[in-house]
Structure 1
Amino acid sequence: MENWIDFLSRYKREHNLSQIKLAERLQMTQGGVGHWLRGSRRPTLQTINEKLEVLGLVYLEAQAMVVERDLVREAQGSYATEQPLSAQALRYASFRFPVLSWADLQEGLPTASELQEQTDYMPAGNAYWLPVENDSMNAASGKSVPEGMLILVDTGLEVQPGKLVIARQPGKSAVLRQLIEEGGERLLRPLNTRYPTVLCEPGCEFLGVVVRVHGIF
């Protein structure tokens, strides 16, 4: 179980979690997590996959190691390669997440997509890519996310002022904006000053925090 231990250790490290906080996310005791991290107890593949779902990592599954769902068509319990990957190799493993369209965000997030993009980012929850389709976040100076870029969105991160977020107001389409706070009110601000800043209405939903901007799509 060295690969699972390394995966869990990396998740804990990259998201700056204490062992107690990691245990809370996994919905188990701190002692149980400690046994896993030390390698003194070995969870089954079924348990590992259940915990990946608890973490919100619905695009990953365990097949004697952590791989992207549907990329390997081997039977459960078998390695994806002739030789199992070492813990060192997994530490630098990359993951594939679906590239969604803005239309996909009208309701619940889809669980699969034909198009995927690879990254080494370790998600805190479910993650997906989106193409930037207009110039509302194209600033004349400073932080800018031009049309045509591909952004990686993590649904497992806390939404905080200053972050770029995907937000969906009641009855409206989802948008990419910077979340700001003024006078105790949350506002959605475009980086392009030609677009208006709007108040977060009651029922406004946040569909994730932008964590990467990747190339030209």
Structure 2
Amino acid sequence: MTDTTYAHKARVEALRTLVLEYGSQAKFARKFGLDASYISQILSGHRSFGEKSARNMEKKLGIPLGALDGRLLANEIKDSNIEPAYVPHTTRSAPVVSWVQAGQWAEAIDLYSAGEGESQEETPTNAGPHAFWLRVKGDSMTAPAGLSVPEGYLIMVDPDSLPENGSLVVAKLDSEDEATFKKLVFDGPNRYLKPLNTAYDTIKINGNCRIVGTVKEIRFRP
């Protein structure tokens, strides 16, 4: 009997998102040495996709353990600032805002800290008081292997957490109207915003950029 729990549905939708990035189930299966019929059975609901199967799949895909459950586990992500994305027992709400609002967050804190925004998302109480959520758009942070944050995922941004080399950050470039989501890289005196998708260019920053906040958590929401 197939598993009909929310966790199972979330895993299936996360897998479906990854498969769509490769255009077809066959291409996806060939890329990672998987059985195409096995993938088809999972996505069609004819085969259960339990926790053990998800962990095995993540190892084959080269993504962090827990990613298919909609969470990233800190001890599985090397050189990353991402913390576990499960929702602890003690939570509060933080707003889900637009990318334009994120770029203006320093001025908008008073407006949104009271609970306003497009919607609300449960947030760990140990997050900074000005934390907020963004829904990822575009594929600049989608990587073929390793840490990948596809379009549609939610990221929690903490303006009160100082970024380090390798941190995932939300930044506002002087030349853009809205914020951008990238990996912050230090190389000697130079600073860069690096996409996880190698098809996109790395951006050198030299006073033309303001770091809005550090990304502390990633969640998959179908």
TM-score by length of 1: 0.55
Task: Give the whole-Å Cα distance in 2 for the aligned partners of 1:201 and 1:175.
Answer: 16
Higher gyration radius (CA): 1
What aligned pairs does 1:85-104 form with structure 2 within 5 A after superposition?
A: 92-104=89-101
Task: Give the whole-Å Cα distance in 1 for the aligned partners of 2:103 and 2:161.
Answer: 21
Among 157, 160, 164, the alignment partner of 2:164 is: 160
Deviations 1:82-115 (A, max 9, x none): xxxxxxxxx9421110000112124233422151
Task: Give the whole-Å Cα distance in 2 for the aligned partners of 1:146 and 1:165.
Answer: 15
Q: Which residue of 2 aligns with 1:184?
A: 189
Q: Which residue of 2 aligns with 1:142?
A: 146
2:125 aligned with 1:128, yes or no? Answer: no
Greater RCO, 1 or 2 (C-alpha within 8 Å, sep 6+): 2
Unpaired segments ≥5 residues, structure 1: 1-90
SS at match of 1:206: strand
**In 2 relative to 1, CA 153–187 (structure 1 residues): closer, same or farther, beyond 3 Å?**
same
Unpaired segments ≥5 residues, structure 2: 1-87
Q: Report the more deviating stretch, 117-126 or 178-187.
A: 117-126
Q: Which runs of 4+ in 1 moved over 2 A?
A: 105-110
- Asked if the contact 2:130/2:160 (under 8 Å) is kept, the reply is yes
Amino acid in the other structure paired with 2:127: P
**1:181 CA drift (Å):** 1.0
SS at match of 1:216: coil
2:205 aligned with 1:200, yes or no? Answer: yes
What aligned pairs does 1:33-44 form with structure 2 within 5 A after superposition?
A: none
2:221 aligned with 1:216, yes or no? Answer: yes
Task: Give the whole-Å Cα distance in 2 for the aligned partners of 1:100 and 1:118.
Answer: 14
Deviations 1:61-99 (A, max 9, x none): xxxxxxxxxxxxxxxxxxxxxxxxxxxxxx942111000
**1:119 CA drift (Å):** 2.8
Task: Give the whole-Å Cα distance in 2 for the aligned partners of 1:194 and 1:114.
Answer: 31
Q: Report the more deviating stretch, 158-167 or 102-111.
A: 102-111
Identity of aligned residues (%): 35
**1:124 CA drift (Å):** 2.9
TM-score by length of 2: 0.54
Task: Give the whole-Å Cα distance in 1 for the aligned partners of 2:103 and 2:214.
Answer: 17
What aligned pairs does 1:11-160 form with structure 2 within 5 A after superposition?
A: 92-107=89-104, 108-109=107-108, 110-111=111-112, 112-160=116-164
Amino acid in the other structure paired with 1:100: V
Task: Give the whole-Å Cα distance in 1 for the aligned partners of 2:119 and 2:126.
Answer: 19
- Asked if the contact 1:96/1:119 (under 8 Å) is kept, the reply is yes
